[in-house]
């Protein structure tokens, strides 16, 4: 199966590619198969522009956790001083 996935990165897939993948799935005992598209459908998908998307906001999760931790520590310290 790795060979098939690697070959997809190197060349444009064809209906034969999907047939080979289905054969490998059956040989390895996977309980599913891929619908085999026509070459026209593959070409249409392959040549389509990528869908627009916005980049998610960049959040430093570690910094956020430290911020919450420090706030809790300050609250504890202010409670013990009061």
Burial annotation 12-21 (CB, 10 A radius, 16+ → b, else e): ebeeebbebb
Question: In angstroms, what CA-CA distances link 45 with 20, 24, 41, 68?
Answer: 20, 23, 6, 46
pTM above 0.75, yes or no: no
Cα(82)–Cα(77) distance, rounded to whole angstroms? 9
pLDDT digits (tens, 9 = 90+) for 20-57: 999 999 999 999 899 999 999 999 998 899 888 888 88
**Mean of per-residue pLDDT scores for the chain:** 86
Cα(24)–Cα(18) distance, rounded to whole angstroms? 10
pLDDT computed for residue 9 by the predictor? 57
Cα(74)–Cα(79) distance, rounded to whole angstroms? 9
């Amino acid at each position: 199966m790795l060979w098939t996935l690697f070959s997809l990165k190197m060349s444009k897939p064809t209906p034969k590619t999907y047939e080979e993948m289905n054969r490998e799935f059956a040989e390895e005992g996977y309980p599913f198969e891929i619908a085999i598209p026509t070459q026209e459908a593959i070409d249409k998908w392959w040549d389509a522009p990528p869908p627009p998307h916005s980049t998610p906001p960049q959040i430093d999760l570690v910094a956020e956790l430290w911020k919450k931790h420090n706030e809790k520590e300050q609250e504890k310290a202010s409670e013990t001083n009061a």
